[in-house]
Amino acid sequence: MTLAIHGIAAAGGPFGPPQPIAREAGGLHTAIGYWHHEDRYKNGTEFVTRQDQVYSEAGYGAQNRWDIYARIGVSNLKIQDAFSSTNALTTTSNNDFDENWKFFGTLGAKVFYPFGKTFGMGAFVQGTYSFNSLKDDVSGTNNGTPYRAVLTVQDLWDVNFGIGFQATVPYGIRLYAGPYVYYSEGTASLSTNVPGLQFSTTDTTIKNTTNAGGFAGIDLPLAKGFRLNVEGQYSERLSAGGAITYTY
Amino acid sequence: MKSFSFAVLLFALITVGCAHTPQVASSPASPAASPQPQPIIVASTSDEVPPKPPEATVKSPETPVNSEKGTVNNDTNIDYTEESKEGEAPTIADPIEPFNRAMFEFNDKLYFWLLKPVAQGYKAVVPEEARVSVKNFFSNLGFPVRFVSCLLQADINCAATEVGRFTVNTVWGIGGLMDPASSKDLNLQKQDVDLGQTLGVWGVGQGFYIVWPLAGPSSVRDSVVIAGEYFLYPPSYMSEIAPWYVGPIVRSYEEVNRTSLRIGDYEALKEAAIDPYVSLRDAYVQYRWKKIRLKKGAQIDELAPSGMRMER
């Protein structure tokens, strides 16, 4: 039996401005960033997921038209009420699934078309995969009998596609916003069946329910080739983060 | 213990600087990756921007020297004067010349028979950009040695520059593979400091000349800091997280990569020299002398010796 539980989405990370970061003549860029991602699902039980990513990015682009990039970083995962019991005879030591830093990777590509010196629009596709299994354990008693179980979330991935509109204002500041769609899924399983817990030993596909959202951000030139990018995304809940990029 | 001893030995031999993988340095103020003294100075790298005017560059191996083979007095009390008068060349005692010459020959054969062929094969299959990135990566790992050396020399600007370089290159340079800190915009150049130089700045004499097998030219002063630089170099701790042989493999790879970027430099020195051993010795001592003098604030013009001279 496969039970689909919605609402646990992988953190896609920021999309960045539609205009490529690389120099027009072509070149590399690198970045370091932080991203806080939240999502939620309601269907009798409410799961709220939170992830914090710290990543390093490298990319290459040219002609002010296209850019490809890759990220590698670490991310945690918190699923609120993942261990909440629906059975009065089952007690749990903790309600939340909480896993610390595990590696993930992201690949992305974007194209940009300028309408003039000020406006332009672009499209992007970005995917993320979590290399490691995410685990947390829970213990308690079931009808007076002690138990201990481990919940494993693995093969967590997502893909995002969006369109962004950009305006370049004085001082080279780029403002951008647009809609995006996304899909994410993973597999969750509990090491032991415990009555009242919402996961079981059967592999459970977990995925998001809301497939669309919006994003907006600002990209500020700093000094000496550095730029600051701050972005927010909203689908089920608000996610936000920032990155400092360096253009070679 | 065996693995540790092997790692220490290999490190000691390699990091002092192989006689046959001459370190490329554009100037005494901006040597190549290794934190250790390097003997041959032939400006050929393109990834380092010399912060000093050309007058500061160490005399190239092609420059004729007037040292003569076998004219060294083995008196250990030779009045080596690192603080030579203006216009005079630095000199060094060579009381163990027979041993040094034997080690020189050993290193020479090792270079031509093993290191150079391996480096040439490596060069043939790995693009230069990748090899420069590898060199940058290992150079970035040399940050602790340079940082501590800056602090021990009470040079806060030097230490701050190194911290800035390490941060920028690690974070935005993909773990040190790239070197954005040296870009024209940031202009955070790698500091040409090491622990042996620090002792020299403190006034410690360099003692006599030693040629280490595998490692090449050194002095007593530069040899006594090998342990310190070993413990300040992160790859030295590879054995803590990997099998014992991984560390030596990594260090060997670092040396092969470094050599692949300088094939031909040592050959040029040998061809230009009447006695390569003497040329190498003179180049080494002059390079170290200038490196210390520059740190002591000597003017560039003062560092133009009238000629090389060996104690008799």
Q: Among B203, B201, B222, B161, which residue's Cα sits nearest to residue B297?
A: B201
- Whether pLDDT at B237 is above 80: yes
Calculate how close chain A gets to B294, using CA atoms only, in Å: 29
Q: Is residue A115 helix, strand or coil? A: coil
Residues in chain A with CB shorter than 8 Å from the CB of B164 are: none
Contact A222, A228 (CB under 8 A): yes
Percent of the residues in chain B that have a pLDDT greater than 90, as a whole number: 47
Closest chain A CA to residue B182: A248
pLDDT attached to residue B293: 87
Interchain pair A31, B172: CB under 8 A: yes
pLDDT tens profile A188-232: 888 888 888 888 888 888 788 788 999 999 999 998 889 999 999
Residues in chain A with CB shorter than 8 Å from the CB of B181 are: none
Q: How far is CA A148 from the centre of its chain?
A: 30
> Which of A30, A224, A225 minimises the CB distance to B174?
A30
pLDDT tens profile A64-99: 899 999 999 999 989 888 888 888 888 888 888 899
- Whether pLDDT at A177 is above 50: yes
Interchain pair B178, A56: CB under 8 A: no
- Torsion of Cα atoms, B285 then B288 then B294 then B297, to 10°: -80
pLDDT attached to residue A154: 87
Query: Which one has a higher pLDDT value, A88 or A36?
Result: A36
Interchain pair A248, B178: CB under 8 A: yes
Closest chain B CA to residue A59: B174
Query: Which one has a higher pLDDT value, A26 or B146?
Result: B146
- Please check whether residue A103 touches B, CB under 8 A: no
> Which of B173, B175, B185 minimises the CB distance to A225?
B185
Of the ranges A9-13, A76-80, B212-216, which one carries the lowest mean pLDDT score?
A9-13
Give the tokens for residue B248.
């030596």
Mean pLDDT value of segment B119-125:
96
Residues in chain A with CB shorter than 8 Å from the CB of B180 are: 30, 225, 246, 248
pLDDT attached to residue A121: 94
pLDDT attached to residue B298: 57
Q: Among B16, B19, B51, B39, which residue's Cα sits nearest to residue B196?
A: B16
ipTM metric: 0.70
Residues in chain B with CB shorter than 8 Å from the CB of A32 are: 171-172
- Distance between CA atoms of residues B100 and B237, nearest Å: 31
Contact A247, A222 (CB under 8 A): no
Calculate how close chain B gets to A112, using CA atoms only, in Å: 24
Calculate how close chain B gets to A85, using CA atoms only, in Å: 41
pLDDT attached to residue A223: 85
- Whether pLDDT at A247 is above 50: yes
Query: Which one has a higher pLDDT value, B244 or B110?
Result: B110
pLDDT attached to residue A202: 82
- Distance between CA atoms of residues A223 and A201, nearest Å: 53
Query: Which one has a higher pLDDT value, B311 or A241?
Result: A241
Contact A37, A50 (CB under 8 A): yes
Interchain pair B173, A224: CB under 8 A: no
- Distance between CA atoms of residues B47 and A178, nearest Å: 41
- Whether pLDDT at A55 is above 80: yes
CB-based contacts of B54, cutoff 8 Å, min separation 6: none
**Residues forming a β-bridge with A164:** A122
Interchain pair B171, A28: CB under 8 A: no
CA distances from B54 to B43, B196, B290 (A): 10, 24, 13
- Whether pLDDT at B14 is above 70: no
> Which of A30, A224, A245 minimises the CB distance to B186?
A224
- Give the B-side interface with A, CB within 8 Å: 168, 171-175, 178, 180, 183, 185-186
Task: Find the helix packing angle between B97-110 and B276-295, rounded to 10°.
Answer: 100
Interchain pair A225, B180: CB under 8 A: yes
- What type of residue is A145? T
Of the ranges A3-12, B105-114, B147-156, which one carries the lowest mean pLDDT score?
A3-12
- Please check whether residue A70 touches B, CB under 8 A: no
Model confidence at A21, pLDDT cuts 50, 70, 90, reads confident
Interchain pair A32, B180: CB under 8 A: no
Model confidence at B94, pLDDT cuts 50, 70, 90, reads very high
Mean pLDDT value of segment A12-22:
88
Closest chain B CA to residue A72: B174
Contact A237, A211 (CB under 8 A): no
Q: Among A246, A8, A149, A38, which residue's Cα sits nearest to residue B179?
A: A246
Query: Which one has a higher pLDDT value, A247 or B70?
Result: A247
Model confidence at A183, pLDDT cuts 50, 70, 90, reads confident
Q: How many CB atoms lie within 10 A of CB A115?
A: 11
Mean pLDDT value of segment B181-208:
91
- Torsion of Cα atoms, B79 then B82 then B83 then B88, to 10°: 90
Could you write out the three-class secondary structure of chain B?
A: CHHHHHHHHHHHHHHCCCCCCCCCCCECCECCCCCCCCCCCCCCCCCCCCCCCHHHCCCCCCCCCCCCCCCCCCCCCCCCCCCCCCCCCCCCECCCHHHHHHHHHHHHHHHHHHHHHHHHHHHHHCCHHHHHHHHHHHHHHCHHHHHHHHHHCCCHHHHHHHHHHHHHHHHCCCCCCCCHHHCCCCCCCCCCCCHHHHHHHHCCCCCEEEEECCCEEEEHHHHHCHHHHHHCCHHHHHHHHCCCCHHHHHHHHHHHHHHHCCCCHHHHHHHHCCCHHHHHHHHHHHHHHHHHHHHCCCCHHHHCCCCCCCCC
Interchain pair A32, B172: CB under 8 A: yes
Model confidence at B168, pLDDT cuts 50, 70, 90, reads very high
Q: Among A151, A147, A127, which residue's Cα sits nearest to residue A137?
A: A151
pLDDT attached to residue B87: 56
- Whether pLDDT at B310 is above 70: no
Interchain pair B172, A224: CB under 8 A: no
> Which of B171, B175, B180 minimises the CB distance to A248?
B180
- Whether pLDDT at B73 is above 50: no
pLDDT attached to residue A193: 87
Query: Which one has a higher pLDDT value, A13 or B32?
Result: A13
**Mean pLDDT rounded to a whole number for chain B:** 74
pLDDT attached to residue A84: 85
Residues in chain B with CB shorter than 8 Å from the CB of A31 are: 172
